[in-house]
A and B are shown apart, each in its own frame.
Chain A
Amino acid sequence: MRLRISKPKDAIAGSLFLAIGGAAWLGSQDFQIGTATRMGPGYFPQCLGLLLMLLGAASLLRALGTDPAEPAEARALTPLLLILAGVIGFYLLIDRAGLVAAIFVLLLFACARQLTSRPLEVLLIFVVLAAFAVAVFIDGFGMPFRAF
């Protein structure tokens, strides 16, 4: 009967909570804490930081057990990176190059995996979405960005 980490997910989540809580606790020391009667701006975040550290420690403890560790699930990370790249691209381009270019870059990354197998489909999605977005958001709602 050896104690080990039998729930890796709980262990990682617990460590994350400990880190976030610790950072919040440290960060709130920059502000006036005050007392319960007269709370300063740091009082509430400090309490939350402590509470989160407590919950993180409890999650870590729960992760320990005698069962063998749950197997890690395999899941590709590329879709996340591609989508984040697309969204960041949209963020960078929307004010500088306009809506159509921003949508183009967003879809270029987000649909990168279909680009070789179904290039026409991706092109069609882009054309339809760009036309729709320009018609609805710029012409319809008058949102403050350019089309091109």
Chain B
Amino acid sequence: MDLLHNLALGFGIAVTPVNIFYCLVGATLGTLVGVLPGLNPILAITMLLPLTFKLPATGALIMLSGIYYGAHHAGSTTAIMLNMPGEPSSLVICLDGHPMARAGRAGPALCISALGSFFAGCVCVLLIALFSPPLARAALAFEAPEYTAAVVLALVAVSSLSSRSLTTTLGMAVTGLLIGTIGTDVNTGIERFTFGFNQLADGIDFVAVAVGLFAIAEIAYRLGGPDPRPHVDGRVRGLLPTRADLAASWKPILRGTALGGAFGLLPGTGPLISSFASYALEKKLSGEPERFGQGAIEGVAGPEAANNAAAFTHFIPMLTLGIPAGATMALMLGALMIQGIPPGPQILTQHPDLFWGLVASMWIGNLMLLVLNLPLVGIWIRLLTIPYRLLYPVILVLCCVGVYSIANSAFFIAVAAVMGAVGYVFRRLDCPPAPLLLGLVLGPVLEENLRRALLISRGNPWVFVQRPISAGLLALAVVLVVVFSLPALRGRERGSVRG
């Protein structure tokens, strides 16, 4: 069995003390991030990514992934206790989780959401292990036209599934692509748009841009508005769910896992949309939909499982194709590149230790999260009331030092400040930053593949339509554009996609 052999290899790497340590640090930091209001996974990864530069590649990725899925796991705690989502994708958990807490049933709500997350995590890590090798093999057949099409699809999908009008979000993506052209042109060695700054010869670093957009702009935006006072409602008396809770929850957890697992694969959808879809599904299937919003446990179990399932399968496009499905995955991809690992399907064949070590560590991390979240939930709840005014100075200091460490020079701190001002303007205009970051990371990939594709086809643009895979990917992008430009389908306002 190939799979067993690979998993054995992975566990051999993940179970070494040092990697267990990285996994534990990642999962703990992730839980912290998920619990603290005002910190979301993307900000946490931006902030801590520079600290992983010095770690070995596998350790760095294990830790960053731990932060990511740990935050998704724990985001529901804030939603249930404070009626405030710890990260965007647990928004929907507020609807029924918080009424449960007010009714004195915070314990069962927390327990069911932790069990649901654990189950979804275990299943979806298995999905990653099962589906990545065949997908990566298929992706080895990808050539320049297919990559061009895949990048276009990823950008269109992330833009179209955001809450704003498509022209604005696509505009953000193209702005990101343009920022990505800053620096030396790889084919001719000519410096483009560097405005005489030698430091820009290698391009604008994505960490500096992410710090500007997700830390500086976000902090300034929050501080400019009214201060939300965290207030913990209800006490946690007894964690254990009743037999009736379990009976009502296991089917929603299964359905949520399936839904989230599938949605996580598609670029742009990710955890946020999956949790909303699962909530809608459970409400529809329920015999008594009027209980939803009043503290129905199914409304916690399903979306929480879906959210976590999607958080895991979200990794698959990034790991097998080198095309991130969202802004957080774009940062992970950047972390890989910093470690000197070129993204793409060859990761599985050339760095099997990294891939399988990561997959195995996700299982271990999931188990750690169950332990971290259930018996220790009291500690986390005490952290919920930490006011934002104590958090943002820490974020700023970590970000400034982190940006310095990119090139051991202060220059990119100034870049981050500029991007912070730009990000603030866009934030005030409700323009989501995620498409911009994705565009920035994918810009050089897109230009390189577009050039190569058209060079081989002698400038014939039909090459993208004549090849079946690239035609299919582009067709999907067109469908998304058409569907999301129709006003009737955009009636309901959704939250912005950040994951």
| Residues of A near any B CB (own CB < 8 A) | 9-10, 12-14, 16-17, 20-21, 24, 27-28, 31-32, 35-42, 44-45, 48-49, 51-52, 55-56, 58-59, 62, 75-80, 83-84, 86-88, 90-92, 94-95, 99, 102-103, 106-107, 110-111, 113-114, 121, 125, 129, 133, 137, 141, 143-145
* Residues of the A chain whose Cβ atoms lie less than 8 Å from the Cβ of B414: 88, 91
* Residues of the A chain whose Cβ atoms lie less than 8 Å from the Cβ of B54: 141
Q: Number of A-B pairs whose CB atoms are under 8 Å?
A: 173
**Can you list 9 residue pairs at the A/B interface with Cβ under 8 Å?**
A32-B188, A37-B458, A45-B192, A59-B171, A62-B165, A80-B224, A87-B396, A94-B400, A144-B408
> A10 to nearest B CB, angstroms?
6
Determine whether the beta carbon of B187 is less than 8 Å from that of A41. Answer: yes
Determine whether the beta carbon of B397 is less than 8 Å from that of A80. Answer: no
Determine whether the beta carbon of B393 is less than 8 Å from that of A44. Answer: no
- Mark interface residues in B400-443 (1 if CB within 8 Å of A CB, else 0): 11001100101001101100110011101111000000000000
Q: How far is B387's CA from A103's CA once the two chains are assembled, in angstroms?
A: 21
- Mark interface residues in B282-322 (1 if CB within 8 Å of A CB, else 0): 00000000000000000000000000000000000000000
Of A37, A48, A88, A102, most B-chain CB atoms within 10 Å: A48
Determine whether the beta carbon of A84 is less than 8 Å from that of B454. Answer: no
Q: How far is B439's CA from A20's CA once the two chains are assembled, in angstroms?
A: 15
B189's closest neighbor in chain A, by CB? A41
Q: Which 9 A-B pairs have the closest CB atoms?
A: A79-B223, A37-B459, A80-B220, A36-B459, A41-B185, A91-B413, A75-B224, A58-B167, A55-B171
Determine whether the beta carbon of A36 is less than 8 Å from that of B454. Answer: yes
Determine whether the beta carbon of B417 is less than 8 Å from that of A88. Answer: yes
Q: How far is B429's CA from A75's CA once the two chains are assembled, in angstroms?
A: 12
> B418 to nearest A CB, angstroms?
9
* Residues of the B chain whose Cβ atoms lie less than 8 Å from the Cβ of A55: 167-168, 170-171, 174
Q: How far is B410's CA from A107's CA once the two chains are assembled, in angstroms?
A: 17
Residue of B178, B188, B413, B416 touching A45 (CB-CB under 8 A): B178
Q: How far is B193's CA from A62's CA once the two chains are assembled, in angstroms?
A: 31
Determine whether the beta carbon of B225 is less than 8 Å from that of A91. Answer: no
Q: How far is B392's CA from A77's CA once the two chains are assembled, in angstroms?
A: 17
> A27 to nearest B CB, angstroms?
6
Size range of the chain B interface in the assembly: 35 or more
Residue of A27, A84, A129 touching B216 (CB-CB under 8 A): A84
Which B residues between 442 and 482 are near A, CB-CB below 8 angstroms?
447, 450-451, 454-455, 458-459, 461
Residue of A10, A16, A110 touching B396 (CB-CB under 8 A): A110
Q: How far is B420's CA from A70's CA once the two chains are assembled, in angstroms?
A: 26
> A56 to nearest B CB, angstroms?
6
Determine whether the beta carbon of B389 is less than 8 Å from that of A48. Answer: no
* Residues of the A chain whose Cβ atoms lie less than 8 Å from the Cβ of B447: 44
Determine whether the beta carbon of A107 is less than 8 Å from that of B393. Answer: yes
Main SS at interface, chain A: helix
Q: Does B110 contact A (CB under 8 A)?
A: no
A50's closest neighbor in chain B, by CB? B174
Determine whether the beta carbon of B390 is less than 8 Å from that of A106. Answer: no
Determine whether the beta carbon of A41 is less than 8 Å from that of B190. Answer: yes
* Residues of the B chain whose Cβ atoms lie less than 8 Å from the Cβ of A40: 188
Determine whether the beta carbon of A79 is less than 8 Å from that of B220. Answer: yes
- Mark interface residues in B182-200 (1 if CB within 8 Å of A CB, else 0): 0001011010110000000
Determine whether the beta carbon of B413 is less than 8 Å from that of A90. Answer: yes
Q: Does B219 contact A (CB under 8 A)?
A: yes
Known: A75-B221, A91-B413, A107-B393. A48 touches B401 (CB 8 A): no
Q: How far is B436's CA from A17's CA once the two chains are assembled, in angstroms?
A: 12
Q: How far is B457's CA from A37's CA once the two chains are assembled, in angstroms?
A: 8
Q: How far is B393's CA from A125's CA once the two chains are assembled, in angstroms?
A: 8
Determine whether the beta carbon of A14 is less than 8 Å from that of B178. Answer: no
* Residues of the B chain whose Cβ atoms lie less than 8 Å from the Cβ of A13: 168, 171, 426, 429, 431
Q: How far is B175's CA from A70's CA once the two chains are assembled, in angstroms?
A: 25
- Beyond the given A17-B171, A37-B455, A129-B393, please list 15 additional residue pairs across the A-B interface where CB-CB is below 8 A: A27-B193, A36-B459, A38-B455, A44-B451, A45-B192, A51-B174, A52-B171, A52-B174, A55-B167, A75-B225, A76-B224, A87-B400, A103-B397, A111-B393, A125-B393
Residue of A59, A94, A129 touching B404 (CB-CB under 8 A): A94
* Residues of the A chain whose Cβ atoms lie less than 8 Å from the Cβ of B192: 28, 31, 41-42, 45
Q: How far is B412's CA from A90's CA once the two chains are assembled, in angstroms?
A: 12
Residue of A20, A86, A111, A137 touching B175 (CB-CB under 8 A): A20
